[in-house]
C-alpha cells in the first residue's frame, strides 16, 4: 500500500500555514477512594453523598494520600515510556470557584511524579512519535449545575477530590487527525493498564487544547491560545480546525494573536474568549504545607514495571509476527483490550485467517449497527470459533455461514444447534448430489446441447440451478466435480 503524505496545512492565497497543537489531557484515575480522602469515587451516586470533611474543605482537615493512586500514576508513566521521578512535591494551585471548596486545588507544579515520555502514533503517512512533557497527580473539582434554577448554581461535591492525572504533551501534534489518534492511543494504553476507564461521556477523560500557527517551514512557534475543557474527540478536532482558521484570518489581516483562554461553542462551531478566566490565571502556586514530599523507592517502581501487562504496541507486534496479520488488522484488533482478548479466545481453536476476517468484517458490522461493546457481543468467542470450524471442515459453506451468523446474532445460540435445527448442513453426499445434478441437466436438456456445442458460459447457469435445487446447501466443490464429469459425456 502506498503511503499517503501528511497534508494538513491551512492554505490561503498568500500562504500555507502549519498548525501546532499541544494537549493537556485530564484522566480520572481508577481507584475506590479519592486521592486524599476515604470517600468513594463511584460515578452516578446521589449528590453530595460521597463527600467527606476533607473533600468539602472543612477547617483543620488534613489530606492523606492514597497509595493506590500513586501506583496508578507510576504505571501510567511507565506505559508512556516516561521517566518516573522518585522525588515529587504537591503544590496548591489557588483560584476561586464555587465547586472548589478549599479555594485551591492540590496539584503538582515544579516537581511532578512523572517526567518526559514518548507515545507512538500510527498515521496513514507512517509512524509518528509524540513527546510527553510530564504527568502529574491532582484533585478533581466538584460539579456546578447551572440549569436547575434561573438564579442559582447548584454544587455537587461528589467529584471533588477524585484523583486526576494531567498528561501534558509536547507541542508535537500537527493536525486534528493526529490529535484524534493521540487521544485514542493514550486511552488505549490507560485501559490496558487499568489506570483510567477513558469514558468521555462520564468526563473521565477531557482535554485542554493549545493551538498556534506558523508559516510552513518556519521554526519559531506562534502565540498560542488554550481551548479549555473539551470533552469529546470530535469536538477537539472541530475546535482545532476552527481556532486555527481564526488565527490565520487574524494574522493575514495584519492583526496579532493574544495569548488567552478560549471556550469551544459546539453549536456555533467556533471558539470564543473566556475573559473571566484571565485574572484567575494567577494561580500563585506554592508547596502545600499539609503534605510532605513524596519519595518513591526505585524497587517500588521496578516492581510495578515487572507487573505491567502487555501494552498495545507490544501486542500489535506480537500479532503481526505470530499470527501473520497485517499492521492494519493488528491495529484494529489491539485497539481495545477486550477486542484482542476476544480474538485470542476465538483463535485458540479455530483457523486464524478465517477468524480474523469474521471478527473484523462481520462481527464489527453487527456491533457497530447495534452500538454494542465487544464484551456484550451476542456471539460469544466460543460460538464464533465453532462457526469458523464448521466452515473450515466443510460442514457449511461460507454463504450458509452468513445465514447461521445472522441467527446467532439474534438468538445467541450455538451454530451447531442452528445448523441442525434449520437443516443447513452442507450436502456432501456424492450420491445425493449426483441425483440433483442429473435432474437439473435433464430439466434443461436444450441448454446442455447448447453447452456441448460450445456455449461454455452456460456452466455458471447449471451451478446456479443446482445450488437453487439444493437450497444453497450443496457442497460447491463436489458439485463442480460431478457437473464437469456429467457434462463431458
Partner 1 sequence: MSIDKNQVKKVAKLSRISLDDSKLESLSKDLDSILNFVEQLNKLDTKKTEPLTSIVDKTLEPRSDKINDGKIKDQILKNSPDKNEEFFIVPKVIE
Pairing verdict, β 286-287 and 91-94: antiparallel
Does residue 308 bind partner 1 (CB under 8 A)? no
Does residue 107 bind partner 1 (CB under 8 A)? no
Does residue 438 bind partner 1 (CB under 8 A)? no
Cβ atoms of residues 215 and 16 within 8 Å: yes
Q: Which is nearer to partner 1, 154 or 461 (CB)?
A: 154
Number of residues that bind partner 1 (CB under 8 A): 57
Determine the Cα–Cα distance for residues 175 and 180; give it in Å rounded to an integer.
9
Determine the Cα–Cα distance for residues 250 and 407; give it in Å rounded to an integer.
58
Q: Contact with partner 1 (CB under 8 A): which of 4, 16, 32, 365?
A: 32
Per DSSP, the three-state class of 385 is helix
Per DSSP, the three-state class of 15 is coil
Least Å from the CB of residue 292 to partner 1: 5
Per DSSP, the three-state class of 209 is strand
What DSSP element (H or E) covers 305? helix 298-306
Does residue 291 bind partner 1 (CB under 8 A)? yes
Per DSSP, the three-state class of 277 is helix
Q: Contact with partner 1 (CB under 8 A): which of 74, 78, 119, 157?
A: 157
Q: Contact with partner 1 (CB under 8 A): which of 43, 154, 364, 459?
A: 154
Determine the Cα–Cα distance for residues 186 and 172; give it in Å rounded to an integer.
15
Least Å from the CB of residue 277 to partner 1: 9
What DSSP element (H or E) covers 476? helix 476-488
Does residue 357 bind partner 1 (CB under 8 A)? no
Q: Which residues from 66-85 bind partner 1, rule CB under 8 A?
A: 66-70
Q: Contact with partner 1 (CB under 8 A): which of 2, 7, 13, 151?
A: 151
What DSSP element (H or E) covers 243? helix 233-252
Per DSSP, the three-state class of 348 is coil
Q: Print the binding letters for residues 225-264 with partner 1: x by CB under 8 A, - otherwise.
A: --------------------------------------x-
How far are the Cα atoms of 145, 229, 364, 386, 416 from residue 383, in angstroms, in the given order?
47, 43, 15, 5, 9
Q: Which stretch binds partner 1 (CB under 8 A): 141-149, 172-180, 213-221, 356-364?
A: 141-149
Least Å from the CB of residue 317 to partner 1: 33
Q: Which stretch binds partner 1 (CB under 8 A): 37-45, 131-139, 435-443, 453-461?
A: 37-45
Our measurement of the distance from residue 19's CA atom to the centroid of its chain's CA atoms, rounded to an integer in Å, reads 24
Does residue 360 bind partner 1 (CB under 8 A)? no
Residues in touch with partner 1 (CB under 8 A)? 31-33, 37-40, 46-56, 64-70, 89, 94, 96-98, 144-146, 148-157, 263, 274, 276, 279-280, 282, 284, 287, 289, 291-295
Amino acid at each position: 500500500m502506498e503511503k499517503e503524505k501528511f497534508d494538513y496545512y491551512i492554505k490561503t492565497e498568500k500562504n500555507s500555514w502549519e498548525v501546532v497543537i499541544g494537549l493537556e489531557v485530564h484522566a480520572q484515575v481508577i481507584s475506590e477512594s479519592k486521592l486524599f480522602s476515604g470517600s468513594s469515587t463511584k460515578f452516578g451516586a446521589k449528590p453530595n453523598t460521597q463527600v467527606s470533611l476533607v473533600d468539602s474543605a472543612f477547617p483543620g482537615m488534613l489530606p492523606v494520600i492514597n497509595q493506590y493512586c500513586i501506583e496508578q500514576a507510576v504505571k501510567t508513566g511507565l506505559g508512556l515510556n516516561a521517566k518516573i521521578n522518585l522525588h515529587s512535591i504537591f503544590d496548591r494551585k489557588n483560584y476561586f470557584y464555587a465547586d472548589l471548596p478549599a479555594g485551591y486545588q492540590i496539584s503538582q507544579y515544579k516537581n511532578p511524579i512523572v517526567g518526559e515520555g514518548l507515545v507512538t502514533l500510527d498515521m496513514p503517512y507512517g509512524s509518528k512519535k509524540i513527546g510527553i512533557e510530564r504527568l502529574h497527580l491532582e484533585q478533581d473539582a466538584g460539579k456546578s449545575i447551572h440549569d436547575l434554577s434561573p438564579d442559582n448554581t447548584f454544587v455537587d461535591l461528589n467529584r471533588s477530590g477524585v484523583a486526576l492525572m494531567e498528561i501534558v504533551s509536547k507541542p508535537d501534534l500537527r493536525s486534528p487527525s493526529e490529535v484524534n489518534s493521540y487521544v485514542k492511543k493514550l486511552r488505549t494504553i490507560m485501559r490496558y493498564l487499568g489506570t483510567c476507564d477513558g469514558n468521555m461521556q462520564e468526563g473521565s477523560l477531557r482535554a485542554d487544547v493549545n493551538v498556534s500557527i506558523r508559516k510552513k517551514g518556519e521554526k519559531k512557534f506562534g502565540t498560542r491560545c488554550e481551548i479549555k475543557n473539551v470533552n469529546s474527540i470530535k469536538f477537539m478536532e472541530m475546535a482545532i480546525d476552527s481556532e486555527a482558521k481564526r488565527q490565520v484570518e487574524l494574522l493575514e489581516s495584519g492583526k496579532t494573536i493574544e495569548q488567552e483562554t478560549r471556550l469551544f461553542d459546539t453549536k456555533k462551531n467556533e471558539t470564543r474568549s473566556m475573559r473571566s478566566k484571565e485574572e484567575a490565571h494567577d494561580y500563585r502556586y506554592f508547596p502545600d504545607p499539609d503534605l510532605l514530599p513524596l519519595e518513591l523507592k526505585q524497587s517500588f517502581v521496578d516492581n510495578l514495571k515487572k507487573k505491567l501487562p502487555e501494552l498495545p504496541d507490544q501486542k500489535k507486534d506480537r500479532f503481526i509476527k505470530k499470527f501473520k496479520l497485517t499492521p492494519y488488522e493488528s491495529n484494529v484488533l489491539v485497539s481495545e483490550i477486550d477486542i484482542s482478548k476476544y480474538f485470542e479466545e476465538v483463535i485458540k481453536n479455530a483457523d486464524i485467517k478465517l477468524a480474523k476476517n469474521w471478527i473484523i468484517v462481520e462481527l464489527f458490522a453487527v456491533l457497530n449497527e447495534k452500538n454494542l461493546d465487544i464484551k456484550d457481543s451476542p456471539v460469544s468467542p466460543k460460538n464464533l470459533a465453532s462457526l469458523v470450524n464448521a466452515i473450515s471442515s466443510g460442514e457449511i459453506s461460507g454463504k450458509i455461514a452468513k445465514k447461521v451468523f445472522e441467527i446467532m446474532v439474534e438468538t445467541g445460540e450455538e451454530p451447531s444447534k442452528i445448523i441442525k435445527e434449520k437443516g443447513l448442513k452442507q450436502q456432501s453426499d456424492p450420491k445425493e448430489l449426483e441425483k440433483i445434478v442429473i435432474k437439473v441437466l435433464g430439466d434443461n436438456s436444450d441448454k446442455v446441447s447448447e453447452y456441448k456445442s460450445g456455449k461454455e458460459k452456460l456452466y455458471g447457469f447449471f451451478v446456479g440451478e443446482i445450488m437453487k435445487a439444493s437450497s444453497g446447501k450443496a457442497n460447491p466443490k463436489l458439485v463442480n466435480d460431478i457437473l464437469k464429469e456429467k457434462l463431458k459425456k
